Structure 1
Amino acid sequence: MRNEPPAGSEQLADEPADVVVLDSELLVRGHVWDVRRDTFEFGDAELVRDYLDHPGAVAVLALDAEDRVLLIQQYRHAIGHRDWEIPAGLMDMPGESGLVGAQRELAEEADLRAESWGILLDLFLSPGGTSEAMRIFIARDVHEATHDYVRSEEEAELVPHWVPLDDAVAAALDGRIQNAVTVSAVLAAAAARAASWRTVRDADLPWTARAAARGERSS
């Protein structure tokens, strides 16, 4: 087993692991996601792990011409807070690409469309306990959008707020906003801006991490 990363930061990258799954058992069929138990070979051992089997998700950091980011305050029952978030949603539409999913979420949650799209970040949100892969897009040159989606339940109270990117970064570093996706996105946007947006990737790049997390173990 290697104990040191390869030389050169450009070579530092997560790697898919080739393990043999001996058994995969569905423990709980959930309303949105499932709980699964896998038995797999790991070296000379046979291990058992339970995890949240997640369809993956997308999020959108929308940035306007005044360098403001769109944030939404939403009630989240699991944490008992109305936290500040960027628009986001599940990849639960069959055959939908990450980009199309992000465009849909931006319209449904913020009534917006964007002319310019790129990939800001790819994340595994909690790899010790869930297969969830998250792709965060950056959307610029935004305009009002019309759609037929009707927001209900927690989404019914969503009110978009435009916040200066620097204020969002300060709120993240002060611990005043704690949503992992939002914090990651605003910090990454600030870093990308400092690099004249050279770090933003093509919005149509394949999402191989999600495919690996979803397709190779679950049945």
Structure 2
Amino acid sequence: MTIKDTPEEWEIRATETPFVGNKTSVRTDDVVMPDGHVARRDYQVHPGSVAVLALDDAGRVLVLRQYRHPVRHKLWEIPAGLLDVPGENPLHAAQRELYEEAHVKAEDWRVLTDVYTTPGGCDEAVRIFLARDLSEADGERFEVEHEEADMELARVTLAELVRGVLAGGLHNNCLVVGVLSLVAAQNGDGLDALRPAEAPWPARPFEA
């Protein structure tokens, strides 16, 4: 048997949107269960995100430290951001985020992994890219604001990040998934066997 997620949609008897925010909203659906009962499910509707695991020639990962108010922590993360426009090409969004948050560009891009962050309560889908052959971006730095104004940047070895993840010291979803996926790829078929940067993404279809 092939272990693979499959699309499926159960009958929805009623739906409403009790909250609409700046970037996300909350939806309530009355869903018909397999036993015939109707259950109410509340979940966050999210535009989707991209994240970038940027790996330099010395084997270090570009990480940033940022305050995250919902969890009351400063978290070490990899560059990431929302898909600002429906149907936006995720590669273009990832290149933008790497430039804006780290003032870095990359010549080699691959898809590292695709995940649903919290499928029990949110429809957010994230595509995590691997970016290599890094260099300083041209032009002036992007002007940051809000939480990003306090952001710290660092380059950390992959081994140190793995130790931090397994010791329970690093918690950001994209960093954890990205780092462990990178190690798995290195120990498997190799980084050049990863999917191309423009690989289809059914969770968030886009124009090439």
Which TM-score applies when normalising by structure 1? 0.87
Partner of 1:187: 180
The residue that corresponds to 1:206 in the other structure is: 200
Retained in 1: the 8 A contact 2:47–2:86? Answer: no
Structure 2 unaligned regions, length at least 5: none
Report the residue type matching 2:187 in the other structure: A
Contact 1:107 1:146 in 2 (8 A): no
Do 1:108 and 1:147's aligned partners in 2 also have CA atoms closer than 8 Å? no
Match of 2:32 in 1: 41
Instruction: Indicate the residue corresponding to 1:85 in structure 2.
Output: 77
Task: List aligned pairs for 1:1-219, cutoff 5 A.
Answer: 7=1, 11-43=2-34, 44-146=36-138, 149-195=142-188, 196-211=190-205
What is the CA deviation profile of residues 99-148 of structure 1, one whole-angstrom value per residue up to 9, with x for unaligned ones? 11111100000101100000101101111000000110000001111356
- The Cα offsets for residues 33-62 of structure 1, whole Å up to 9 and x where unpaired, read as 111101222332322100001111000000
Deviation at 1:20, TM superposition (A): 2.3
Q: Which residue of 2 aligns with 1:216?
A: none
Q: CA deviation at 1:24?
A: 2.0
39-48 or 160-169, which moves further after superposition?
39-48
Over the matched positions of the two proteins, sequence identity in percent amounts to 43
Query: Separation in 1 of the partners of 2:193 and 2:45?
Result: 30
* Matches of 2:17 and 2:139, distance apart in 1: 37
How big is each residue's C-alpha offset from its partner over 1:175-207, in whole Å with a ceiling of 9 and x where there is no partner? 111112111111111111122225521110121
CA contact (8 A) 1:133 1:209 kept: yes
SS in 1 for 2:43: strand
Looking at structure 1, the residues matched to 201 and 3 of structure 2 have their Cα atoms a distance apart, in angstroms, of 18
Give the AA of the match of 2:13.
L
Task: Identify which range, 118-127 or 202-211, moves more after superposition.
Answer: 202-211
**CA–CA distance in structure 1, aligned partners of residues 99 and 53 of structure 2:** 13
What's the C-alpha RMSD, in Å, of the aligned pairs?
A: 1.5
Q: Write the letter of the residue equivalent to 2:91.
A: L
Contact preservation (8 Å) 1:74, 1:155: yes
- Give the 3-state SS of the residue equivalent to 2:148 in structure 1: helix
What TM-score comes out, normalization by structure 2 length? 0.92
Q: Which runs of 5+ in 1 are unaligned?
A: 1-6, 212-219
**Which amino acid in 2 is paired with 1:35?**
V
State how many pairs are aligned: 202
Any conservation in 2 of the 1:107–1:147 contact (CA below 8 Å)?
no
